[in-house]
Structure 1
Amino acid sequence: MRTNQFACAELPEGESYHRLGRTSRFRWWSTPLTLAVLAVLVFFLWMAIILSVTIVAIIGGSGLAPDSVTLSTIAEMAFGLLTSALFIPIVLFLVRVVQWRRVGSLLSVEGRLRWGWLARCTVVAIVPVALCAAAFLPLAKLLQPGLVPSEASGGTEVFAAAMTVIVLLVPFQSAAEELTMRGLLMQMVGAVGARSGERGGASAVSRVLRSPGPAILASGTLFAALYLAAHPDKVWTTAALSVMGLGAAWLTWRTGGLEAAIGLHVVNSLVQFTLCVFEGRMEQIGTGLVVGSGLPLGAGSPLVLLLTLAQVGLYTLMVAWLAGRRGVRRRSADGAFGRTP
């Protein structure tokens, strides 16, 4: 049977999620090339953001009328969420063009997004998120009363406009972060170790590199490390980000796809953004990277670490149990390697 040497690489056979980047077309330079192209694309994205903000500032003038401040805040929130969401096409481009493999390999071991499993994970996420949200007020009043907002503001029209932006954009912003951190990064790290049948694959270094540990650790802690570098005084938030990231990374490996991580991220971010709007704290949202990172309430305090541990622990147990019960695939199918379209 004729094969097309220019066709995209198929899923490697019998591999865990973190190893799906080690396709038949993987070469030693694939990872540094991916990082280089990513840096270039992010640079141009950043330049486009600066140019857009500058143009808006020039058109709108240097000041804002009092009644336009809220509208400006909503626009900034939408712009920040949209900017984060633009990482979706960037990551898909890197996988499809630079790494020359199917984009479905970034989604799950089945080579596609498992919509039914995503829906179940999203429903399951409501339970721990709701419990943590319900526990926030009494715990905050007990441990750190200053965390509880004193009054709500904004009005019905402002709330409706902000919620429209949130409902439309937060799912894409959350998915973009998971595609980047738990998807692309995890598979780049997981692809480094040689297979057992390849040259050097029997070495101890290769065995460690192709194990899930390094991929989970890297994809689960990189964002927290970058946040700590920029905010060295935010120790509690950094610790909570590490717990959330490691939990999402482990679930991605355990369930063979991004659905569990995306489900928790979307539900938690929707709750966080909604409360920020309801309580008149939209200025805290910024680009959505921290508020929309999937953390429970109480950022910047020991409470956020406590709630994150409880939330991630409960969600992990529930999803792992459900995945085992439903027989969710953890590895790609045997015989998948080397197939052509």
Structure 2
Amino acid sequence: MSQRTTTLAPGVEYHRVLAGDQRRIGRGILAIVLLMGGMFLFSILFPVIAAMVQGPVSPDDGVVYTPLLHAAGMFAVALLTPWSMLIQRWFYGVKGASLHSVFSRFRFDIFGRALVVIVPAWTVITVALYWAPLPETTWSHTDILWFLLATLLLTPLQAAGEEYGFRGLIFRVAGGWARGARAGLVVAIVVSSVLFAIAHLSTDMWLNAWYLVFAVGVALITWRTGGIEIAVVLHAGFNTLNLLFDAAFRVDFADAYERSAGVGSPITMLPAVVIVIAVIVVWVRTRGAGAARTPADAEARVEAVRAG
């Protein structure tokens, strides 16, 4: 739908990669509709296929949510990564790899450093959240092993899919709707964060507040670092650890992930502490010459180190 590009302008920030001379709001809305429509379609289609494969499950055993349904749900959302790349390429002519970062590659050095710090922090928060007993189900020993395997293999990909969709494609699409970079950043954060909360289909005040804090925080981090890596670590670490605890304690998923009004409480906001601290740390470490929000910033940083 537009001329394809193979390289990114050296001074363009992550959220402005899709910005052009025209704001192309109609095209952006269509891209977002396709992204979210695909997400909901995948999330319905693959669990339905999984249910057909496994056959009927009797609720009398107390087991309705199975490892196969779990894996299907995780895989469905993980498809948002290639789906986001395809939509960006089709609608804007920008190669899918640019969704990793402004350098069009996934920076494993940043990912690794974030992993070492963030996973222990999420572990402490998860233990606090699971301190009080939760409703249990009657999964067998074998089921628990399958749940653990599916969670370890697919939940990080599921979380990454949401990041590439919301902090990647939607963040960039909305970031191009304003004329200036700062106005575009505000629009990008608001649109991607609100849609992220809506996508979770919750009517609870505390849960929606948590979704918004998380979304705004990782959007800021994505902008300040020029890429998606730390956002993926934060999202994948939180989701994976929670689901691992669920499987280990045989927690009833239907109760644990109920999102209707009244299920949340102030304790729901406890994980926001990690997000706020992460934003502060990233902000401080990317001030001045330490910022690498564009390829040009990175080159200037290298030159500064050589000159020093």
Indicate whether 1:300 and 2:264 are aligned. yes
Show the counterpart of 1:97: 90
8 Å Cα contact 2:171-2:191 kept in structure 1: yes
Runs of 4+, deviation exceeding 4 Å: 40-63, 65-68, 150-153, 321-326
8 Å Cα contact 1:34-1:99 kept in structure 2: no
Show the counterpart of 2:30: 36
Q: Cα distance, 1:216 vs. partner?
A: 1.8
Q: Cα distance, 1:15 vs. partner?
A: 2.0
Calculate the aligned-residue CA RMSD, in Å: 3.5
Name stretches of at least 5 consecutive residues in structure 2 with no aligned partner.
300-308
Q: Cα distance, 1:301 vs. partner?
A: 2.0
Indicate whether 1:231 and 2:202 are aligned. yes
How many Å separate the matches in 1 of 2:38 and 2:194?
25
How many Å separate the matches in 2 of 1:270 and 1:251?
20
Deviates more, 1:48-57 or 1:217-226: 48-57
Specify whether residues 63 and 213 from structure 1 end up closer, same or farther in structure 2 by C-alpha distance, changes over 3 A only. Answer: closer
8 Å Cα contact 2:23-2:176 kept in structure 1: no
Indicate whether 1:333 and 2:303 are aligned. no
Specify whether residues 289 and 172 from structure 1 end up closer, same or farther in structure 2 by C-alpha distance, changes over 3 A only. Answer: farther
How many Å separate the matches in 1 of 2:277 and 2:41?
41
How many Å separate the matches in 2 of 1:57 and 1:137?
29
Counterpart amino acid of residue 220 in structure 1: S
Show the counterpart of 2:224: 254
Q: Larger RCO: Structure 1 or Structure 2 (Cα < 8 Å, ≥ 6 residues apart)?
A: 1
**Aligned residue pair count:** 294
Indicate whether 1:273 and 2:243 are aligned. yes
Q: Cα distance, 1:327 vs. partner?
A: 3.7
Q: Which structure has the larger Rg? A: 1
1:1-341 paired onto structure 2 within 5 Å:
7-22=4-19, 27-29=22-24, 31-36=25-30, 39-40=33-34, 43=37, 62-64=56-58, 69=63, 73-136=66-129, 148-149=133-134, 154-194=139-179, 206=180, 209-210=183-184, 212-227=185-200, 230-232=201-203, 234-284=204-254, 300-305=264-269, 307-323=270-286, 327=290, 329-333=292-296
Using the size of structure 2 for normalisation, the TM-score is 0.80
Name stretches of at least 5 consecutive residues in structure 1 with no aligned partner.
139-146, 195-205, 291-298, 337-341
Specify whether residues 282 and 170 from structure 1 end up closer, same or farther in structure 2 by C-alpha distance, changes over 3 A only. Answer: farther
8 Å Cα contact 2:62-2:137 kept in structure 1: no
Using the size of structure 1 for normalisation, the TM-score is 0.73
Percent identity, aligned pairs only, is 24
Specify whether residues 154 and 7 from structure 1 end up closer, same or farther in structure 2 by C-alpha distance, changes over 3 A only. Answer: closer
8 Å Cα contact 2:43-2:77 kept in structure 1: no
How many Å separate the matches in 2 of 1:322 and 1:81?
33
Q: Cα distance, 1:113 vs. partner?
A: 1.2
8 Å Cα contact 1:87-1:177 kept in structure 2: yes
C-alpha distance after superposition, 1:54-84 (max 9, x if no partner): 56656665553867947x6111111111111
Q: Cα distance, 1:42 vs. partner?
A: 5.6
Q: Cα distance, 1:90 vs. partner?
A: 1.0
How many Å separate the matches in 2 of 1:252 and 1:107?
10
Specify whether residues 241 and 42 from structure 1 end up closer, same or farther in structure 2 by C-alpha distance, changes over 3 A only. Answer: closer
Specify whether residues 311 and 47 from structure 1 end up closer, same or farther in structure 2 by C-alpha distance, changes over 3 A only. Answer: closer
Counterpart amino acid of residue 125 in structure 1: I
Deviates more, 1:317-326 or 1:152-161: 317-326
How many Å separate the matches in 1 of 2:258 and 2:171?
19
